[in-house]
Amino acid sequence: MEYLVLARKFRPQSFDEVAGQEHVVKTLRNAIAQGRVAHAFLFSGPRGVGKTSVARILAKSLNCEKGPTATPCNQCSNCVEITNNSSLDVREIDGASNRGIDEIRELRENVKFAPAASRYKIYIIDEVHMLTDPAFNALLKTLEEPPAHVIFIFATTESHKIPATILSRCQCYDFRRIPLKEIVANLGLVASKEGIKISPIALSWIAEAGDGSMRDSQSIFDQVISYAGLDIKDTDVEESLGLAARQYLFRLSEAVLRQDAGACLMILEEAYLAGIDMKFFYQMLLKHFRNLLLVKIAADGSSAFDIAPEQIEKLQNQVQKISRETLQRYMEILIAEEGNFRRSQEPRMKLETIIVRMAYLEPIMPLGEIISTIENIEQRLQRGLPAGGNNTEPQFSVNNQTKETPANYHAVGRVAAEENKNNNSFRQDNSTADLKTLCDNLKKFIKKESAILAAKIDSAEILNFENDCLTIGFPANFIFLDEMKTKQKEKLEQIAGKFFQKNVTLNIETFTAENGAANGNKTRSQASIINDVKREAMRQPLLKKVMDELSDARVVEIRVTPEKTSS
């Protein structure tokens, strides 16, 4: 018996065996069960993801002697003939070699005849986008109103080339690239059935080389087996797939991140002498820095990307102390130089130039830190103080909405959550405390939950707390009053509920120094002074300049030191 490649030998024969296309399988199963099978289908998506295999399974489901059924028996004569591609009633047509109007005219004549032995006559046209415009036009009327016994199934990798008139007459299904984990699981199953010994890491390398295609991954696995036999070592996979360059990637990125240009050049020299193609190495380097950026941004969600699991921890360790802006700049350099690198007659020298440029790039600070530092220095210089020491002036924290929230805010929340586990007695005592102590304790708790929100309610006071209704007062001219009453009220209410360990209704009011309240006029006067200092800070020329330059910028916090409010 002739040898069958793995891609054919382990081709899915039922919907249960289809990997990575759950949305398509579920819809087709339900359509068969409900008797709502369309007369024309279009399966589109990348190569090797199961379009033709699903078309065959659908044909078996409809023509099975026990059907129509979503679980074909694969044993009756109809199922066996379809599996062997010998059925007279299920024809697979190559659209690339039967693309003319004459072939379509012949098809139109044949659809008139009833099936020879099956329930339906099914036409599977692969790469249907290769048909000519006259051929498509000739197919239109038949496709719109075919005989009741005819079903068309089209498959294509380029659905944008198919006329809209054809698309409108079909049920369209988009097939996706298969996730790395599912390809690795499939290859592991193949290895166990074939008696092949191979490590999970090597399987992940093969799956990664398949680029989301199950057929490509299985073909590469076949090639590796031919190279290494039934006992496959990791080094065999590296040599067979040309992955020797992988060992230089982490060393090179580590040298770039620590700004060691000399080490970068030595690593490149070592890779060149090892016989690694520089253009291939550049593509791997580009993907490697992309992975570094994804891991930095996604953090715990890194596993959602098609990155080998054993690489994630190493990537996270490398980017731990590197800012997102710096990694993004590295990616921009590599992408911008890709075209020039491809056209270069000296790829080795060009790559050295690019890497040295990246190594000498100064780390990029987040926008908020830059603005805060500039403002801090300017304020101190205006007061005749050194640019370095402690700052007693109002401090701005300006956040551009297009930038990400600093990670330390999330860290504060996590630390606070851990500390609150041991804080039950601290909260329970508040029911009998006076409003002054209650207000101080609540502010401390809010600061642990959200540093930004705590800064905005610094001048607030608790006016009353009874019947689970918390009344908080703000100065009448409080600059964030509208925001507290709208955007922040729900969040503040949730934090107060956590503080009191029960549902709390929040009521926000305003007060003046003449109102009188729990803390007396002196406290009101102090709050008014703080608010006046913040209003003065908002009128600072530097802040206005920053807000004018950055259209999406907003002030998220103004801190006032005790020195400014003392009287």
Domains and CATH numbers, the chain: 6-174 (3.40.50.300), 180-241 (1.10.8.60), 246-359 (1.20.272.10), 395-565 (3.30.300.180)
Distances from the Cα of 159 to the Cα of 42, 229, 401, angstroms: 9, 40, 37
Measure the CA–CA gap between 40 and 502, rounded to whole angstroms. 58
Place of tokens 């805060």: 372
Mean pLDDT of 93-97: 87
Q: Is the pLDDT of residue 435 over 60?
A: yes
Identify which of 115-124, 451-460, 488-497 has the greatest average pLDDT: 115-124
Measure the CA–CA gap between 392 and 54, rounded to whole angstroms. 70
Using an 8 Å Cβ cutoff, are 20 and 49 in contact?
A: yes
How confident is the model over 488-511, as pLDDT tens digits?
A: 888 888 888 888 888 888 888 887
Using alpha carbons, select from 129, 150, 135 the residue that is nearest to residue 51: 129
Q: What is the mean pLDDT of the chain?
A: 79
How confident is the model over 235-270, as pLDDT tens digits?
A: 888 888 877 777 788 889 999 998 899 999 999 998
Q: Is the pLDDT of residue 170 over 70?
A: yes
How confident is the model over 516-561, as pLDDT tens digits?
A: 444 444 444 555 555 666 666 666 666 666 666 665 666 666 665 5
Q: What is the per-residue pLDDT for 559?
A: 61
Contact residues for 413 (Cβ-Cβ < 8 A; gap 6+): 448, 449, 450
Residue 92, Cβ neighbours under 10 Å: how many? 18
What type of residue sits at position 198? I
**pTM of the model as a whole:** 0.59
What DSSP state is assigned to residue 2? P
List own/partner pairs for 256-259 with CB under 8 A and 24 or more apart: 256/330, 256/355, 256/358, 256/359, 257/318, 257/319, 257/322, 259/359, 259/360, 259/361
Residue 263, Cβ neighbours under 10 Å: how many? 16
Q: Is the pLDDT of residue 564 over 50?
A: no
Handedness of CA 318, 323, 324, 327 (dihedral sign): negative
Using an 8 Å Cβ cutoff, are 292 and 300 in contact?
A: no
Going by their DSSP bridges, the two strands 461-466 and 469-475 should be labelled as antiparallel
Using an 8 Å Cβ cutoff, are 458 and 530 in contact?
A: yes
Identify which of 414-423, 450-459, 514-523 has the greatest average pLDDT: 450-459
Q: What is the per-residue pLDDT for 362?
A: 79
Q: Is the pLDDT of residue 415 over 50?
A: no
How confident is the model over 189-226, as pLDDT tens digits?
A: 999 999 999 988 889 889 888 888 999 999 999 999 99
pLDDT greater at residue 156 or residue 561: 156
Q: Is the pLDDT of residue 418 over 60?
A: no
Q: What is the per-residue pLDDT for 301?
A: 63
Using an 8 Å Cβ cutoff, are 42 and 154 in contact?
A: yes
Measure the CA–CA gap between 125 and 512, rounded to whole angstroms. 79
Mean pLDDT of 183-187: 92
Place of tokens 């701005």: 396
Using an 8 Å Cβ cutoff, are 378 and 411 in contact?
A: no
Q: What is the per-residue pLDDT for 438?
A: 82
Q: What is the per-residue pLDDT for 429?
A: 43
pLDDT tier for residue 155 given thresholds of 50, 70 and 90: very high
Mean pLDDT of 7-14: 90
pLDDT tier for residue 428 given thresholds of 50, 70 and 90: very low
| Backbone φ/ψ region at 550: left (φ over 0), alpha (ψ -120 to 50), beta | beta
Using an 8 Å Cβ cutoff, are 14 and 57 in contact?
A: yes
Retrieve residue 92's tokens: 């697979």
Contact residues for 467 (Cβ-Cβ < 8 A; gap 6+): none
Identify whether 309 is preceded by a cis peptide bond (ω within 30 of 0).
no
What type of residue sits at position 495? I
Measure the CA–CA gap between 457 and 168, rounded to whole angstroms. 58
Of the listed ranges 44-58, 217-231, 405-419, the least confidently predicted one is 405-419
Contact residues for 135 (Cβ-Cβ < 8 A; gap 6+): 99, 100, 101, 103, 104
Mean pLDDT of 404-424: 40
Measure the CA–CA gap between 196 and 305, rounded to whole angstroms. 28
SS3 468: coil
Identify which of 232-246, 335-349, 418-432 has the greatest average pLDDT: 335-349
pLDDT tier for residue 375 given thresholds of 50, 70 and 90: low
Q: Is the pLDDT of residue 152 over 90?
A: yes
Cα angle 262, 268, 269; round to 5: 90
Measure the CA–CA gap between 458 and 454, rounded to whole angstroms. 6
Retrieve residue 418's tokens: 């851990």
Q: Is the pLDDT of residue 515 over 90?
A: no
Going by their DSSP bridges, the two strands 553-559 and 395-400 should be labelled as antiparallel
Of the listed ranges 55-59, 139-143, 196-200, 477-481, the least confidently predicted one is 477-481
**What's the distance, Cα to Cα, between the start and end of the chain in Å?**
99
How far, in whole angstroms, is CA 353 from its chain's centroid? 32
Q: Is the pLDDT of residue 63 over 50?
A: yes
Mean pLDDT of 24-45: 92
SS3 472: strand
Exposure letters 346-380 (e unless 16+ CB within 10 A, then b):
ebeebbbebbbebbeeeebebbbeebbeebbeebb
Query: What is the tally of helices (H) and strands (E) in the chain?
Result: 27, 10
Using alpha carbons, select from 475, 530, 531 the residue that is nearest to residue 508: 475
Identify which of 440-444, 484-488, 560-564 has the greatest average pLDDT: 440-444
Q: What is the per-residue pLDDT for 191?
A: 92
What DSSP state is assigned to residue 170? S
Measure the CA–CA gap between 504 and 158, rounded to whole angstroms. 57
| Backbone φ/ψ region at 127: left (φ over 0), alpha (ψ -120 to 50), beta | left
Mean pLDDT of 85-103: 87
Mean pLDDT of 36-51: 92
Retrieve residue 563's tokens: 């020195």
Using alpha carbons, select from 219, 276, 229 the residue that is nearest to residue 252: 276
Place of tokens 């005592």: 429
Place of tokens 């369309």: 38
